[in-house]
């Protein structure tokens, strides 16, 4: 009798499913007949389980136990800041109100982001999460409209509200006196304010969000021309290796006037498969795939995600369905967070309240399990 291999201490069901799919594909390339059900059974027996269902149940129970242990450990060390972040992301206004009442200075404290890097304030995450009740409560509890942005890559609450198109929050921050600096003025498309700010050369010096040039944040041709006239380089790259014209091209919707300006300056941007997916241009994606583009191609910047990750994050259900039909890997893991496209859709829904991601997540999950 063949001895079963040692089962991993921290098994991943997503990984085992992907492994089974890869084995099926390899067998078929060799001209052998193979089904996913047979491969699941063989994989289960390899690890000493009589069936795939038994293996699956074992892994799910192990994952539940691991999650329970993590929850217990987390509960033991939760600080008031962590609890407040949790209240914001779970939309528990009562809990947030009680925490702010018990610790008045909490509204202006910085700490770990609940989902990724950086040390934002609670207000930053309330805006990202589109949690209007938390946003108003934090401001009314003494939270600064300008925020402490030193450990969040220079992103102010106002910039975040503009970036995520939280128009009501943006207007309220301005009403409360938030500082409209050069980057915020550029993001607002306020040419007059931009002109007034760049009259002082100091406004163009120093560091900016994402280690970018102010040109990356331009929204109008007039402001872009003004920045270029003050010596800013159109080919300067941000910390992700992306130029301003590339940012303009990737924007949704595309900034056509700015792209034409870049073209006249010799910075013509090509609409490749990555840009087409980011912009939700289904017809262009179809053309590029027909011409030979790889449906499972990965972005060289950001998180090393696939095209399907990007479409799922954007909540673009028609494009997601098209990519899946064309063979996009449902189980592909991005290189930074090691999660699937379905998980990306769930995070976008939970973190940013992006409702279009809910049907995308359900569609992908239904096809995975």
Out of 76, 98, 119, a domain closes at 76
Q: What CATH number corresponds to the domain at position 333?
A: 1.25.40.20
Of 178, 114, 124, 129, the residue nearest 155 (C-alpha): 124
Query: How far is the C-alpha of 59 from the C-alpha of 50, rounded, in Å?
Result: 14
Q: Above 70 in pLDDT, residue 4?
A: no
316 falls within a domain: yes
Out of 76, 111, 127, a domain closes at 76
70 falls within a domain: yes
Q: Taking a C-beta distance cutoff of 8 angstroms, is the pair 361, 309 a contact?
A: no
Out of 23, 50, 76, a domain closes at 76
147 falls within a domain: no
Model confidence band, residue 5 (pLDDT cutoffs 50, 70, 90)? low
183 falls within a domain: no
pTM of the model: 0.70
Rounded average pLDDT over 299-321: 93
Q: What are phi and psi of 345, to 5 degrees?
A: -65, -40
Model confidence band, residue 265 (pLDDT cutoffs 50, 70, 90)? very high
200 falls within a domain: no
In the chain, where does DSSP find H-type helix?
A: 13-29, 36-46, 52-77, 80-89, 93-102, 122-128, 132-140, 157-163, 167-175, 182-188, 191-198, 221-229, 244-250, 256-264, 273-278, 282-290, 307-313, 317-325, 341-352, 357-368
Rounded average pLDDT over 81-103: 94
The whole-number pLDDT of residue 26 equals: 86
Rounded average pLDDT over 5-30: 81
pLDDT over 90 for what percent of the chain? Answer: 69
254 falls within a domain: no
Model confidence band, residue 64 (pLDDT cutoffs 50, 70, 90)? confident
Rounded average pLDDT over 197-210: 93
Rounded average pLDDT over 350-366: 93
Q: What is the average pLDDT value for the chain, to the nearest integer?
A: 91
Higher pLDDT, 359 or 279: 359
**Residues 23-53: pLDDT tens digits?**
888 888 888 887 888 888 988 888 889 999 9
Note down the domain range covering 275: 270-369
Number of domains composing the chain: 2
Handedness of CA 9, 12, 18, 21 (dihedral sign): positive
The whole-number pLDDT of residue 77 equals: 39
**Residues 120-152: pLDDT tens digits?**
999 999 999 999 999 999 999 999 999 999 999
306 falls within a domain: yes
The whole-number pLDDT of residue 72 equals: 65
The pair of three-digit structure tokens given for residue 53, joined into one six-digit string: 């269902």
366 falls within a domain: yes
The pair of three-digit structure tokens given for residue 274, joined into one six-digit string: 């990555």
């Amino acid at each position: 009798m063949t001895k079963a291999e040692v089962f991993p201490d921290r098994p991943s069901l997503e990984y085992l499913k992907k492994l089974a799919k890869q084995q099926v594909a390899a067998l078929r390339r060799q001209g052998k007949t193979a089904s996913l059900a047979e491969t699941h059974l063989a994989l289960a027996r390899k690890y000493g389980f009589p069936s795939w269902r038994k293996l699956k149940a074992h892994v799910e129970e192990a994952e539940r136990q691991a999650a329970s242990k993590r929850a217990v450990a987390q509960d033991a060390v939760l600080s008031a800041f962590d609890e407040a972040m949790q209240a914001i992301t779970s939309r528990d206004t009562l809990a947030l109100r009680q925490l702010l009442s018990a610790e008045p200075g909490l509204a202006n404290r910085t700490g770990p982001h609940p989902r990724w890097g950086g040390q934002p304030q609670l207000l930053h995450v309330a805006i990202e999460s589109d949690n209007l009740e938390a946003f108003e409560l934090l401001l009314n509890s003494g939270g600064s409209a300008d925020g402490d942005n030193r450990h969040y890559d220079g992103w102010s609450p106002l910039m975040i509200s503009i970036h995520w198109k939280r128009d009501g929050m943006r207007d309220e921050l301005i009403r409360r006196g938030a500082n409209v600096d050069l980057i915020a003025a550029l993001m607002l498309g306020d040419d007059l304010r931009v002109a007034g700010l760049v009259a002082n050369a100091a406004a163009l010096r120093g560091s900016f969000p994402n280690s970018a040039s102010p040109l990356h944040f331009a929204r109008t041709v007039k402001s872009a021309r003004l920045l270029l006239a003050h010596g800013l380089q159109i080919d300067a790259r941000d910390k992700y290796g992306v130029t301003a014209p590339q940012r303009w091209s990737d924007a949704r919707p595309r900034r056509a006037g700015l792209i034409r300006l870049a073209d006249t300056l010799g910075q013509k941007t090509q609409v490749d498969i990555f840009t087409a997916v980011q912009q939700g241009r289904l017809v262009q994606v179809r053309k590029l795939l027909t011409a030979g583009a790889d449906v499972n191609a990965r972005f060289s910047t950001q998180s090393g995600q696939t095209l399907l990750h990007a479409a799922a994050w954007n909540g673009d259900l028609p494009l997601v369905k098209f990519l899946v039909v064309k063979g996009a890997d449902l189980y592909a893991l991005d290189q930074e967070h090691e999660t699937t496209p379905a998980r990306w859709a769930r995070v976008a829904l939970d973190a940013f309240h992006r409702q279009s991601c809910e049907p995308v997540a359900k569609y992908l999950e239904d096809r995975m399990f």
